[in-house]
Amino acid sequence: MNGEDESKRPCVSVHRRHYLSDHMKTAVDLLLLLAFSTGSLAAPVSSFVAPTNHPLEFIDTSFENASPVWYEFAADGTVLVHLLYDHERGSPNRAAGHIHIKLHAKPGARLNLEFKNLDNVWNGISGSVARELKTLVISEDGRRWKSVPTESLPENRIQLHLEMPGSQLYVARVEPYRLSDLDAFLTALRTNGLVQMTRIGTTVQGRELEVARIGHAGAANRVFLRARAHAWEAGGNWIIEGLVHRLLREDEEARKFRKRYCVYVMPMANKDGVALGRTRFNFQGKDLNRNWDKPADPQLAPENAALEKWLTGMIQADQAPHLALELHNDGGGRLHISRPPVPNIERHLKRMAVLEELLRKHTWFTEGSTTAAFRNSGTLGDGWLERYGIDAAVHEFNCNWIAGLKDYPSAKHWQAYGEKLATVFYDYFGSLPSE
């Protein structure tokens, strides 16, 4: 809005259309028909224009973390929601799949939405994300969410059948965790004497990036966790909240945890993408969970350059993390253990086996880890092990189903997982031989 009253501004095109007589319109139609038939104009693609009585009034994407979309109506009334891809620089890779929209429609209306543009390209290979998109979440207030299954149709088509409980309904891929949620979380932490916040740099668009330390800097062991390298994957933020709240509780067990280790978290790497509803890449088209096998480009990936600088400082101060987890969402939920050519790979694999066993013991984790042939070069897990000798791995969380709970994922379940990680880390460091 620019302060001008829109209703008073003359709308020339509408007025002109009004003044065209029916005869003139017929004449225009005839001229167009002639132009198409003689080949001087390309024939328009036939499309169906929605009847004005369609129960969907509007798809609102004006809010924080909303996914950019455009939409149209199919002849049977299905609303075709076209997601927008974000693209990787210098690569065929592209990603769509973040969904966060608000439907405005008649209460009680039955809507059928079909999500388009799920043909992602990942590591140079085409693959539809439709196979992974088995559930979505809905909410009337954007706070209390409910999982709903999607319907898979041939040709990688995904539909969602809904009945509007009121006049507005949010639909999202996973329970959203927005920049404002992070700000509220960090604001509450700032006054806690057990937390130290370090500003480490800024995103492409200038948003501040931080690493928070939970616990005592002098603890014998250090864990690092990062979330939201990929903007749509909100699960990692809920896990970090659960872990941090558990560590800060004033009980005997929390004191025990904090004595054995402290935790460093970079809670949201791709803040620009989260704020503006992107799916994967940063605003210079860089994948923040790639290229960790070489120094980060401070212009193109300032989010990674800032973290690399922080890590280098920690290493120089003899404070390198002993364990690092990079948190993600996908349709599999496995622990990704990469195998770069490092001399101590067997020691690393043994430790990752201990970690996996403890995850199975203390949390609902049942998904297992990647095979012996797995290597995903340049992920934080792979790169930190290769370049810095840090035991690091990517931990995916299934965004459709939690097999260990036989339930849909939710913020509540992911927070509970984070709480249990506190025990996992305690036992993990307890099991390692002292060096």
Q: Taking contact as CB under 5 A, which single stretch among the options 8-16, 46-54, 210-218, 320-328 is the one that binds Zn ion?
A: 320-328
Nearer to Zn ion, 328 or 420 (CB): 328
| Minimum distance, C-beta of residue 272 to Zn ion, in the bound complex (Å) | 16
Contacts of 76 (CB under 8 A, 6+ apart): 112
Cβ-proximal residues to 266 (8 Å cutoff; 6+ apart), any chain: 200, 209, 210, 211, 224, 225, 226, 227, 307
Nearer to Zn ion, 221 or 400 (CB): 400
Contacts of 2 (CB under 8 A, 6+ apart): none
> Applying CB under 5 A, which part among 252-260, 296-304, 327-335, 426-434 lies near Zn ion?
327-335
Say how many residues touch Zn ion, by CB under 5 A: 3
Q: If phi over 0 gives left and psi between -120 and 50 gives alpha, with beta otherwise, what is residue 115?
A: beta
CB of residue 409 to Zn ion, shortest distance in Å: 15
Residue 328 sits in the site that holds Zn ion (CB under 5 A): yes
Nearer to Zn ion, 230 or 271 (CB): 230
Tell me, residue by residue from 215 to 244, as one string, x for binding to Zn ion by CB under 5 A and - for no binding: ---------------x--x-----------
Cβ-based nearer residue to Zn ion, 87 or 260: 87
Q: Which of 212, 312, 307, 304 is nearest to 263 (CA)?
A: 212
Q: How far is the CB of 176 from Zn ion (least distance, A)?
A: 16
What residues have CB less than 8 Å from 26, skipping those under 6 apart? none
Counting Cβ atoms within 10 Å, is residue 33 exposed (0-12), middle (13-18) or buried (19+)? exposed
Residue with the two structure tokens 């949201």: 268
Q: Which stretch binds Zn ion (CB under 5 A): 84-92, 129-137, 321-329, 385-393?
A: 321-329
- State in angstroms the smallest separation of the CB of 166 from Zn ion: 33
To Zn ion, the closest distance from the beta carbon of 230 in angstroms equals 4
Contact (Cβ atoms closer than 8 angstroms) between residue 278 and residue 238: no
Which CB sits closer to Zn ion, 102 or 328?
328
Q: Is 290 in the site for Zn ion (CB under 5 A)?
A: no
The nearest distance, CB 408 to Zn ion, in angstroms, is 19
Q: Which of residues 159-178 bind Zn ion (CB under 5 A)?
A: none
Question: Residues 112-151: x/- map of binding to Zn ion (CB under 5 A)?
Answer: ----------------------------------------
Name the segment binding Zn ion (CB under 5 A); options: 175-183, 253-261, 322-330, 331-339. Answer: 322-330
Amino acid at 68: P
Give least dist CB 232 to Zn ion, A. Answer: 8
Q: Which is nearer to Zn ion, 230 or 351 (CB)?
A: 230
Stretch that binds Zn ion, among 77-85, 157-165, 268-276, 325-333 (CB under 5 A): 325-333
In terms of CB distance, is 134 or 230 closer to Zn ion?
230
Smaller CB separation from Zn ion, 221 or 329? 329
65 in Cβ contact with 178 (< 8 Å): yes
Minimal distance, residue 328 CB to Zn ion, in Å: 3
Minimum distance of Zn ion from residue 159's CB (angstroms):
25
In angstroms, give the least distance from the CB of 192 to Zn ion. 29
Q: Which two tokens stand for residue 246?
A: 């558990």
Q: Which is nearer to Zn ion, 97 or 201 (CB)?
A: 97
Least gap, CB of 289 to Zn ion (angstroms): 6
Q: Which is nearer to Zn ion, 56 or 327 (CB)?
A: 327
Q: Is the dihedral of CA 5, 9, 14, 18 positive or negative?
A: positive
Region of 2-10, 20-28, 40-48, 328-336 interacting with Zn ion (CB under 5 A): 328-336
Nearer to Zn ion, 178 or 230 (CB): 230
322 lines the binding site for Zn ion (CB under 5 A)? no
Cα separation, 52 vs 406, in Å, equals 43
| Contact positions vs Zn ion (CB under 5 A) | 230, 233, 328
